[in-house]
Amino acid sequence: MRDAVKKLGGDPEKINPICPADLVIDHSIQVDFNRRSDSLQKNQDLEFERNKERFEFLKWGSQAFKNMRIIPPGSGIIHQVNLEYLARVVMDQDGYYYPDSVVGTDSHTTMVDGLGVLGWGVGGIEAEAVMLGQPISMVLPEVVGYKLLGNPQPLVTSTDIVLTITKHLRQVGVVGKFVEFFGPGVAQLSIADRATIANMCPEYGATAAYFPVDDISIGYLVQTGREKEKVLCTKKYLEAVGMLRDFKNSSQDPDFTQVVELDLHTVVPCCSGPKRPQDKVAVSDMKKDFETCLGAKQGFKGFQIAPDRHNSVIKFNFEGCDFELAHGSVVIAAITSCTNTSNPSVMLGAGLLAKKAVEAGLTVKPYIKTSLSPGSGVVTYYLRESGVMSYLSQLGFDVVGYGCMTCIGNSGPLPDSVVEAITQGDLVAVGVLSGNRNFEGRVHPNTRANYLASPPLVIAYAIAGTVRIDFEKEPLGISASGKNIFLKDIWPTRNEIQAVERQFVIPGMFKEVYQKIETVNEAWNALDAPSDKLYTWNPKSTYIKSPPFFDGLTLALQTPKTIEDAYVLLNFGDSVTTDHISPAGNIARNSPAARYLTSRGLTPREFNSYGSRRGNDAVMARGTFANIRLVNKFIDKQGPQTVHFPSGETLDVFDAAERYKQAGHPLIVLAGKEYGAGSSRDWAAKGPFLLGVKAVLAESYERIHRSNLVGMGVIPLQYLPGEDARILGLTGRERYTIIIPENLKPQMNIQIKLDTGKTFHAIMRFDTDVELTYFHNGGILNYMIRKMAS
């Protein structure tokens, strides 16, 4: 942006964060080593080897910009670091107190809502503008009250509660709304439990999932080592302004737009999957549900496997021993993600279960890729001090790093013999992870079924080796003495877990870890970075590239023009996620991005992931719509391809878009409900923009993705109520002319004409006058540059 401002005659050094910018390098580490190795140090060394250019760029930024602080890689997951260290709850500036708040460039920023800090995720596009002083513009949201009653059952975890809430609120419909939790049941939940529930806010579609501050929140600040004097001031301020809540006092309950309830006693142990986080399955029903999904029609709950192949078994050899894989076999088991690794109750629960399992003689098959990737060093500290770390390690759950891993698709490769067996039998292999997202193609290309589960259940399914097991009737394994061991025999009680937590999760741990968090990484400390105010772009770099977003930008505004005779690049159904639009995981060897990197002299081992190459638009444009599980109505199979209508050829999406661009044809995308669900991935808007997509026409949008489209100047269009592509008779093979009136207003209806002669109307989802201003500027970043240059 400094380069662009300079070209327009402005002062580039005026570009500095107005508000404090804490940047945690929550790097998406690729877990490349087998579970028996000393994988933590190897992964961290490999991380620096692969991402040195990116880290140099970030370190340059911390020196070139004022008011910006970097938390180095290897420190943890941004949301857990925020919860345990950065969040203040109440701000104290120049003698004035006011409530803490935050926006973050990840949708799970909402995790800190569990501590009473109002926060939500925005795309990187919007966040950049906020850092530079641009206020956030939004329609005043409805606030849904979620009343919690009762007490959880002894064997239920916070993960079970959040998966239950996720399904419930998806059914209620809270997209674009705030959810506030209240009622006497809230007092039964720890801050870690509340943070788990708030973390999965994007999965149930809300903007924020707020837990007001109470005495338990204040106690958490003390537990995590915050300064006692500041904690005392925080409590006094909240009491003075009436913001310290007593959840057992119903007279303090606010008035809400709508109220829904959950009795915590009704929650049962559960998982979610096999393809969406809202598809909850009780553990008691898992075996039956998976077997039903095998034969069901291809979809969110179906794999369309022929009945005569449901019991297929493929033999294979791993490290000199013979094994078998079948549909439902677990090949990835990961304790991962900010959602759960921040919660001592489920992490210690996993450790205690591992201890009992080892003592009972249970093991995990060696070909299953197991991993433990905590969200902060505090987790490792209390697992080690409580004596359970060694038992986790014996089952293969060694610490492989601190950051987003399996949950974002960076589990690393499976053993070749396992992949060959899966491919040979066309098996529906399974990943089980304590994550928050399990969309198709996200976790691993070879796991078609992926289930979200609590950390203890991750270990249980790893030991079982399959999800086709009824834990109530079938044993996990057999002890050395020949006794059947059932899950109930090794499952720790809530009282057992709480006793260990009280003893070992103490303030001193948090203080010790966080007082050195900015200096403990020696590789980061030794990293040299440029000192210039303007970044010096390296044309040979395949990681960091000057983006083309501001090419041709002038101070004068260009009047938005009608989009004439646009082709449909892709035609989607419901729940197309940002992972489908802009995957973050492995770069497939036969993809356009792989061909580009090969042309730059890289080998497949050096490709890294799409997530690691977000600083290079040439890679990311080629990675747009590159998800291997993409379902495009123009194609009769899953895959990142489409039809180029002028020629009739089936091409990779990027190649088709390039042909359209070369011929001067604008493009649009058709979609169903919940378009852009999932991560707040700004490349899911930047990528389509670079492909030449001028508009998206969908039945509904997830909030952050609609905002990102607006930020890039791509028009989000929405069908009128009661209409969709089927009702209007749209095939996607038509050409579309979208009439852009001179006097635009928020949420106005506009006319769309087809080359068939048909005409219909759609809502232009610019929801505020500010968003219209961004559109007239060609996007929010263009607006900010013009503003600063003038």
Beta carbons within 8 Å of 126's beta carbon, 6+ residues apart: 103, 136, 707, 708, 711, 780
User: Is pLDDT above 80 for 19?
Assistant: no
Using DSSP's 3-state secondary structure scheme, residue 209 falls into: strand
Beta bridge partners of 643: 650
The model carries a pTM of 0.86
Share of the chain above pLDDT 90, in %: 69
> Sorting pLDDT into bands at 50, 70 and 90, what band is 36?
very low
DSSP one-letter code for 327: T
How much is the average pLDDT of 76-102? 91
Tokens of 337: 């993600």
521 touches 73 (CB < 8 A): yes
How much is the average pLDDT of 136-154? 93
144 touches 256 (CB < 8 A): yes
- Nearest alpha-carbon partner for 660 in 754, 565, 758: 565
327 touches 313 (CB < 8 A): no
Q: d(Cα 313, Cα 476) in Å, to the nearest integer?
A: 20
404 touches 77 (CB < 8 A): yes
Q: d(Cα 285, Cα 752) in Å, to the nearest integer?
A: 47
Beta bridge partners of 21: 68
Question: For 437-591, where are the alpha helices, taking DSSP H only?
Answer: 455-464, 487-490, 494-504, 507-514, 522-525, 578-581
Among 15-19, 126-130, 593-597, the least confident range = 15-19
Q: Cα–chain-centroid distance for residue 777?
A: 29
DSSP string covering 661-699? HHTT--EEEE--SSBTBS---THHHHHHHHHTEEEEEES
pLDDT digits (tens, 9 = 90+) for 284-343: 999 999 999 999 999 899 999 999 999 999 999 999 999 999 999 999 999 987 778 889
- Nearest alpha-carbon partner for 459 in 267, 330, 270: 330
If you average pLDDT over each of 19-23, 57-61, 121-125, 195-199, which comes out highest?
Answer: 195-199
Q: Cα–chain-centroid distance for residue 558?
A: 35
How much is the average pLDDT of 565-590? 93
The residue ranges of DSSP E strands in 434-560, in sequence order, are: 449-452, 477-478, 484-485
Beta carbons within 8 Å of 482's beta carbon, 6+ residues apart: none
pLDDT digits (tens, 9 = 90+) for 507-558: 998 999 898 888 888 888 999 888 888 888 999 999 999 999 988 888 888 8
700 touches 673 (CB < 8 A): yes
441 touches 628 (CB < 8 A): yes
Q: What is the dihedral of CA 17, 19, 24, 25, to 10 degrees?
A: -20
501 touches 344 (CB < 8 A): yes
Residue 445 has what pLDDT? 87
Q: What is the dihedral of CA 493, 494, 496, 498, to 10 degrees?
A: 170
455 touches 350 (CB < 8 A): yes
Beta carbons within 8 Å of 159's beta carbon, 6+ residues apart: 196, 339, 340, 346, 434, 452, 453, 454, 455, 457
How much is the average pLDDT of 226-243? 96
User: Is pLDDT above 90 for 350?
Assistant: yes
Tokens of 54: 């990116």
> What backbone phi and psi angles, to 5 degrees, belong to 378?
-60, -35
Q: Return the residue matching tokens 């010790």.
A: 512
Beta carbons within 8 Å of 87's beta carbon, 6+ residues apart: 100, 102, 112, 115, 117
How much is the average pLDDT of 609-626? 94
Residue 710 has what pLDDT? 94
User: Is pLDDT above 60 for 78?
Assistant: yes
Domains assigned to the chain:
75-266 (3.30.499.10), 313-512 (3.30.499.10), 563-582+632-789 (3.20.19.10), 584-623 (no CATH)
342 touches 374 (CB < 8 A): no
How, if at all, do strands 96-99 and 90-93 pair? antiparallel
Beta bridge partners of 23: 70
412 touches 307 (CB < 8 A): no
pLDDT digits (tens, 9 = 90+) for 434-453: 988 888 878 888 999 999 99
- Average pLDDT value over all residues in the chain: 91
Residue 711 has what pLDDT? 92
Among 357-371, 404-418, 475-489, 732-746, the least confident range = 404-418
Q: d(Cα 551, Cα 554) in Å, to the nearest integer?
A: 9
769-776 helix and 703-711 helix, angle to the nearest 10 degrees = 40
654 touches 569 (CB < 8 A): no
Triad 37, 39, 43: Cα angle to 5°: 145
108 touches 204 (CB < 8 A): no
Q: d(Cα 364, Cα 558) in Å, to the nearest integer?
A: 62
242: left (phi over 0), alpha (psi -120 to 50) or beta: left
What's the first-to-final CA gap in the chain, in angstroms?
A: 14
399 touches 33 (CB < 8 A): no
User: Is pLDDT above 60 for 668?
Assistant: yes
> Sorting pLDDT into bands at 50, 70 and 90, what band is 14?
low
How, if at all, do strands 715-719 and 759-764 pair? antiparallel
585 touches 610 (CB < 8 A): yes
Q: What distances in angstroms separate CA 305 from CA 362, 466, 661, one per listed residue?
A: 32, 17, 39
Q: What is the dihedral of CA 623, 444, 415, 461, to 10 degrees?
A: 170
Beta bridge partners of 176: none
Residue 33 has what pLDDT? 34
Share of the chain above pLDDT 70, in %: 95
Residue 4 has what pLDDT? 63
Residue 611 has what pLDDT? 87
User: Is pLDDT above 60 for 35?
Assistant: no
Q: d(Cα 338, Cα 201) in Å, to the nearest integer?
A: 13
The residue ranges of DSSP E strands in 357-433, in sequence order, are: 369-372, 430-433
